């Protein structure tokens, strides 16, 4: 059955705006449910396409405003795969075909490129030519730099080994110095004790000398001396008598 545009519009209005069922539309328009279904399906496809176009336009607008894909996915409530597809389409519209190629070659891993752009171009204010030259130098001299880095690392390891040996020697010397300090302290204490004993002996000697001097110069000493002399004379006198008796006895014998 050939349907004109006017009847299609009425069916669409009855279904989408007035929310009539297929049976009610069929009764009103004197139309078979199959024709109604075809009209509704066609309209739904058109509306879906229009909705997709609206989402695409909104996404392109948000991309141009500097929104990130994650922000756009949240705002438009669409999946990440759809956002990625719209992003590539946006690049194509902006004549950034090379980005699409890079995106494919890196499997979507554009993080290093963005980091390079942020650090060198935005933060260091380097021109594109300088960035290209820097990358070219890094690529050509990288093997040499890696070799140089290895040599320096080996040298640093050797110096670290030597430094550790020196630290060990210093620790041993510190230990020996601590022992010598303890020995010196002990010797100093012993010297002080010896000096103290010598002082005490000196004091005792002085006291004895004074005591002897007092004795020699005193009256008691003179008395003692006189008594000793008398005793010695008495003993000698007795010895003379004893010797005389002994001699006589010997002659008699």
> Could you list the pLDDT tens digit for every one of the 253 residues in the chain?
456 778 888 888 888 888 888 888 888 888 888 888 888 898 888 877 877 778 888 888 888 788 888 888 888 888 888 888 887 777 777 766 565 556 666 665 666 666 766 666 666 666 667 766 766 666 666 677 777 788 888 888 889 889 988 989 898 888 888 888 888 788 888 888 888 888 888 888 888 888 777 766 766 666 766 776 777 676 666 666 666 666 666 666 5
Q: Is residue 115 part of a domain?
A: no
Distance CA 66, CA 53 (A): 20
Helix axes 33-64, 80-93, angle to 10 degrees: 70
Domain count, the chain: 3
Distance CA 37, CA 40 (A): 5
Domain with 19 in it: 5-109
Distance CA 82, CA 78 (A): 6
Q: Are 105 and 9 members of one domain?
A: yes
The predicted pLDDT at position 108 comes to: 59
End-to-end CA distance of the chain: 199
Which element (helix H / strand E) includes 24? helix 22-29
Q: Is residue 173 part of a domain?
A: yes
Q: Are 176 and 124 members of one domain?
A: yes
Q: Are 96 and 13 members of one domain?
A: yes
Q: Are 80 and 167 members of one domain?
A: no
Q: Are 240 and 233 in contact (CB under 8 A)?
A: no
The predicted pLDDT at position 97 comes to: 56
Q: Are 102 and 70 members of one domain?
A: yes
The predicted pLDDT at position 219 comes to: 65
The predicted pLDDT at position 6 comes to: 86
The predicted pLDDT at position 93 comes to: 72
Q: Is residue 52 part of a domain?
A: yes
Q: Are 35 and 83 members of one domain?
A: yes
């Amino acid at each position: 059955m050939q349907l004109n545009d006017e009847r299609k519009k009425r069916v669409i209005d009855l279904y989408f705006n007035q929310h009539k069922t297929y049976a009610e539309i069929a009764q009103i328009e004197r139309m078979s449910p199959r024709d109604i279904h075809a009209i509704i399906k066609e309209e739904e496809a058109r509306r879906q396409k229009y909705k997709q176009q609206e989402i695409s336009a909104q996404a392109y607008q948000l991309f141009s405003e500097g929104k990130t894909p994650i922000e756009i996915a949240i705002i438009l409530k669409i999946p990440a795969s759809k956002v990625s597809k719209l992003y590539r389409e946006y690049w194509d519209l902006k004549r950034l075909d090379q980005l699409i190629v890079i995106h494919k070659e890196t499997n979507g891993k554009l993080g290093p490129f963005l980091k390079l752009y942020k650090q060198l171009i935005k933060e260091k204010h380097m021109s594109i030519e300088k960035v290209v030259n820097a990358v070219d130098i890094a690529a050509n001299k990288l093997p040499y730099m890696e070799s140089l880095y290895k040599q320096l690392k080996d040298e640093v390891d050797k110096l670290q080994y030597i430094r550790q040996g020196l630290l060990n020697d210093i620790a041993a010397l510190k230990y020996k110095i601590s022992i010598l300090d303890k020995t010196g302290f002990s010797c100093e204490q012993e010297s002080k004790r010896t000096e103290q004993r010598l002082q005490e002996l000196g004091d005792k000697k002085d006291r004895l000398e004074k005591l002897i001097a007092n004795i020699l110069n005193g009256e008691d000493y003179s008395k003692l001396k006189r008594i000793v002399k008398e005793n010695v004379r008495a003993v000698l006198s007795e010895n003379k008598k004893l010797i005389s008796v002994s001699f006589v006895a010997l002659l008699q014998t």
